Amino acid sequence: MNIGIVGLGLIGGSLGLDLRAAGYQVLGIARREQTCVDAIARGVVDDASVDLALLAAADVVFVCTPISAIAPTVQQLIPHLSANAIITDVGSVKKPVVEALEPIWTNFVGGHPMAGTAESGLEAAQTQLFAGKAYVLTPVKTTPPAAVNIVEEIARSLKAKIYQCRPEDHDRAVAWISHLPVMVSAGLINACINETDPAVLELAQQLASSGFRDTSRVGGGNPELGVMMARYNRGELLRSLQQYRTGLDQIISQIEREDWNALQGKLSINQQTRPKFLNLE
């Protein structure tokens, strides 16, 4: 089976490494010639080109561009593809992608491999990036089951854990556990640096340790990624942020009223519930 990959960055490059190792023929598309040369040299792809026409031979195409480029890329790709080719993507928000592509390509299967590192680009590509990680597929009513099965089979060869759900359920779930944490964590750094007494600010910087480091990690990451989450998952993120804000106001009110029993109750529920969210660890 020939697999096409459009976009040879961290995700596209890592897919290429594992899919070649699994025995697939991998054809890569990059915007820059040099990336094609590098990808072939690193063994990420069997062949690569800046010309989408290379993918005429592809049975399945993984679109691994930033979310904003997925639909325009597929539009450009369609004239080059065989009629039975399957297209899938790796975008971290699914509803807008599926809504854009489902009407224009029957054999489209939305996908989200939930793996990554702090790095980006082809240099960061690595084998086994997806092993043990969640890989969510979001077929809709019109998606041909045969296409879903083939994408699932390929994802299984990456040793990923496969989940299937509706695009809107995916987006709501990742708002809670991925996009909301980024904004909550961003707010923490943002608040601390507003300390107006320079001596206290310096002391805070000196005394900060693992608690601050962990809580601030995702909020201090790639700004483009944060904006992308907010932009494409705006509705679900706002919904989760409003819920968060209501809960935060309750905590503030409990502390203001010195209602230590209520605060203790809230923190106890958290302590009991958090392990349910650590399935993948």
Could you say which residues in the range 247-266 bind a copy of itself, by CB under 8 A?
Answer: 247-249, 251-252, 254-256, 258, 260, 263-264, 266
| Residue linked to tokens 């590098």 | 38
In three-state secondary structure terms, 4 is strand
Nearest approach, Cβ of residue 246 and a copy of itself (Å): 8
Query: Segment near a copy of itself (CB under 8 A), from 4-12, 22-30, 42-50, 183-191?
Result: 183-191
- Binding to a copy of itself in span 127-166, by CB under 8 A: 133-134, 136, 163, 165
Q: Which of 75/205 has CB closer to a copy of itself?
A: 205
Region 78-107 residues binding a copy of itself, contact defined as CB under 8 A: none
Give the residue with the Cβ less far from a copy of itself, 35 or 185: 185
Residue of 14, 77, 191, 232 interacting with a copy of itself (CB under 8 A): 191
Helix-then-strand count for the chain, H and E: 12, 9
Measured distance CA(91)–CA(67) in Å, rounded: 6
Contact pick of 34, 180, 198, 232 for a copy of itself (by CB under 8 A) = 180
**Could you give the C-alpha distances from 188 to 1, 64, 193, 198, in angstroms and in order?**
48, 32, 9, 18
Beta carbon of residue 81, minimum distance to a copy of itself (angstroms, whole number): 31
Residues 102-121 that bind a copy of itself (CB under 8 A): 114
**Cβ distance 60 to 105 under 8 Å?**
no
Pairing of strands 47-49, 60-63: unpaired
Smallest distance from the beta carbon of 97 to a copy of itself, in angstroms? Answer: 17
Q: Tell me, residue by residue from 200 to 239, as one string, x for binding to a copy of itself by CB under 8 A and - for no binding.
A: x--xxxxxxx-xxxxxxxxxxxxxx-xx--xx--x--xx-
40 in contact with a copy of itself (CB under 8 A)? no
Query: Does residue 243 interact with a copy of itself by CB under 8 A?
Result: yes
Q: DSSP class of residue 178?
A: I
Asked if 30 touches a copy of itself (CB under 8 A), the answer is no
- Go through 37-70 and write b for each residue having 16 or more CB atoms within 10 A of its CB, e for each that does not: ebbeeeebbbebeeebebbeebbbbbbbbebebb
Least spacing, CB of residue 195 vs a copy of itself, in Å: 6
Residues 6+ apart with CB under 8 A from 194: none
Quick one: 134 or 140, whose CB is closer to a copy of itself? Answer: 134
The answer to whether 111 and 89 are in contact (CB under 8 A) is yes
Is the Cα torsion angle 229, 233, 238, 240 positive or negative in sign? negative
Q: Which residue has the tokens 């905590």?
A: 251
